Amino acid sequence: MKIHLAGSTRAFDAESGETVLAAARRAGLAFPYSCLSGNCGSCKADILDGSVHYPYNPPSALSKAEQSGDKALLCQAVPLSELTIAIREVEAVAGIPLRQLAVKVVAKNRLCDDVVELKLMPPKREPLKYLPGQYLDVLLPEGKRRAFSIANAPRHGDTLDLHVRRVTGGGFTQYVFDELSVGALLRIEAPLGTFVPREGGDRPIILMAGGTGFAPIKAILEYLRDIGNERALHLYWGARHASDLYLDALCRQWQAEQPQLRYTPVLSEASTLERHQYRAGHVHEAVLKDFPDLSRFDVYMSGPPPMIDAGRKQFTAAGLPEDRLYYDSFDYAPDVLAALIRARKG
Ligand SMILES: Cc1cc2nc3c(=O)[nH]c(=O)nc-3n(C[C@H](O)[C@H](O)[C@H](O)COP(=O)(O)OP(=O)(O)OC[C@H]3O[C@@H](n4cnc5c(N)ncnc54)[C@H](O)[C@@H]3O)c2cc1C
């Protein structure tokens, strides 16, 4: 099936049963995406001509009106006819080769009760090219994979650093906490994702993290510092308790060193004592309270799906143009979501 890009002479082909996004990636096009499960909405596009269907996961990130209108989620949409689509490419990630490689765990550090930092060393002669904010997939048996954001900007050490939160009942994260030891090898595919800094403009930037969603934001902030950024940066980090802000001291140090950076930690389950020292509530609500009009901002956010969902709806309602909202949603892996959807259907 032929797929045309609106306003361009470029086109690519989808094979039978192939999603539009998979076909585009195979053709070397850099469309935005994040969860690859139909949940987050990063890959939303306009279908100007033709039609699609959803034989895999449903496009849960689309509203009913969007589904019956001309919007599609390209990570799940399979063409039913020749298509013409409109979507903005993320040029920065185009041309960076996607690779599979074995990496060695060279450090495993407990950052807080339920988060560990893994430092992964790629082979010396094969350093990985990636952009700040991108993620890698750990490749597991039976074709399963788990996504983890790279928490350090390129050239910030020789390793790829991950912040892994323990998930109750989680296959891979329990293995990381209980069994994985320094010296072990992991097979990864990287770099992935389009949650990368967009250059240009002098608008202030809001960066909002939830839990380990801090990992890609940390990499982006390291990069912005490297390039001598002068734009105002408002960093919000949401967690349940102060002890979950596992790099709070680093954020405070950045704030002290960089006059254009303001750091606001927000606790969703703040104790009475914590309420004296921290903002309490949901992190996206704190952003909206401080900036009820978001029309002059760029916003980057990453973390748990409910936070991303709330941000998507409420930030755009507060005047933020959809094309200046960039995010990575830490959804469960496609195989787990598919199993959950099957279980829900009964
Ligand atoms: C782009 C992206 C970046 C990410 N970055 C990070 C990061 O930097 N740090 C981080 O900590 N996480 C990150 N994640 C989340 C991460 O990829 C994993 O989803 C998470 O760590 C859980 O993996 P797991 O194998 O431990 O759990 P899974 O085995 O995937 O299980 C997840 C949950 O689902 C339940 N479950 C599993 N299978 C079923 C089933 N068949 N039926 C019912 N319930 C089931 C489990 O009990 C568990 O509660 C990211 C996700 C994405 C998409």
pLDDT tens digit string along 88-100? 889 899 889 999 9
Does the pLDDT at position 346 exceed 90? no
Q: Which two tokens stand for residue 91?
A: 């040029």
Q: What is the dihedral of CA 285, 286, 287, 291, to 10 degrees?
A: 100
Quote the ligand 1 centre to 171 CA distance (angstroms).
Answer: 8
Contact 330, 303 (CB under 8 A): yes
| Torsion sign, CA atoms 14, 16, 20, 26 | negative
Task: Return the pLDDT at 344.
Answer: 79
Nearest residue to 247 (alpha-carbon basis) of 211, 273, 274: 211
Residue-wise pLDDT tens digits, 303-337:
999 999 999 999 999 999 999 999 999 999 988 88
Percent of the chain with pLDDT strictly greater than 70: 100
Output the pLDDT for position 182: 98
How confident is the model at residue 69, as a pLDDT? 84
Residue 277 Cα to ligand 1 middle (Å): 32
pLDDT surpasses 80 at 2: yes
CA-to-CA separations, 143 to 24, 221, 334, in angstroms, rounded: 21, 33, 11
Q: Ligand 1 pocket test: pick from 336, 341, 342, 344 the residue with the most ligand atoms within 8 Å of its Cβ.
A: 336
Q: For position 243, what pLDDT does the model report?
A: 97
Residues 225-238, mean pLDDT to the nearest whole number: 96
Would you say how long the chain is, in residues? 346
Alpha-carbon separation of residue 151 from 117, 129, 212, 327, 336 (angstroms): 9, 14, 9, 15, 24
* Rounded-to-integer distance, Cα 223 and Cα 131, Å: 9
Q: Average pLDDT for residues 260-284, to the nearest whole number? A: 97
What is the pairing mode between strands 185-192 and 99-112? antiparallel
pLDDT of residue 260: 97
Name, in order, each residue with C-beta under 8 angstroms of 331's C-beta and a sequence gap of 6 or more.
34, 35, 37, 39, 40, 305, 337
The whole-model pTM stands at 0.94
The answer to whether the CB of 134 is under 6 A from ligand 1 is no
Q: By alpha-carbon position, which residue is closest to atom 28 of ligand 1?
A: 170
Of 173, 244, 327, 345, the one to substitute when testing ligand 1's pocket (max ligand atoms within 8 A of C-beta) is 173
In the predicted structure, residue 79 carries a pLDDT above the cut 90: yes
The residues that bridge with 167 in the sheet, in sequence order, are: none
Judge whether residue 245 has pLDDT over 90: yes
Quick one: pLDDT at residue 293? 98
Helices (H), the chain: 20-26, 64-68, 171-178, 214-226, 248-257, 272-277, 283-290, 305-317, 334-345
306 prior amide bond cis, ω within 30: no
Predicted confidence (pLDDT) per residue in 146-195, tens digit: 999 999 999 888 999 999 999 999 999 999 999 999 999 999 999 999 99
**Domains of the chain and CATH, by start:** 2-89 (3.10.20.30), 97-192 (2.40.30.10), 205-329 (3.40.50.80)
Contact, 41 vs 62, CB < 8 A? yes
